[in-house]
Amino acid sequence: MDVVAQAIAALSSSKIEELTSRFNQKENTGYYLKDISFLGRYSTRVGPRLLFRTTFIRSSPYRPDAVTPTRGHSYLVALDDKFSVLGYRSIEVDSTVTFSHGKARSEEALLFDFNAAK
């Protein structure tokens, strides 16, 4: 099972604006997935959770001879075993993500608590 390919398909079909690659013809800008990393499959009280780190890039409008920086947006994305997006949180591109006791953290900030009641 290629979990990365299935995660990319899940992001594309999620209809969540921050997690969906697209091109804006009117503005001549793009927003696309630059990187995705599988962090692991973790057992939680509510079932297994798959965690991915993603980075999306928003391009600037095309202008001849213009050099503009890309704009990156990174997220920690949680999916279930059916590859449904359960949630996502904005993270720094170089942040360290840890998982312990049903909780995902980044530099001590709580990102997901899978033990909390819904």
Give the global pTM.
0.85
Q: What is the largest CA-CA distance in the chain?
A: 54
Average pLDDT score over residue span 6-10: 97
For residue 20, pLDDT beyond 60: yes
Delimit the domains of the chain by residue range. 3-110
Per-residue three-class SS string for 60-115: CCCCCCCCCCCEEEEEEEEECCCCCEEEEEEECCCCCEEEECCEEEECCEEEEECC
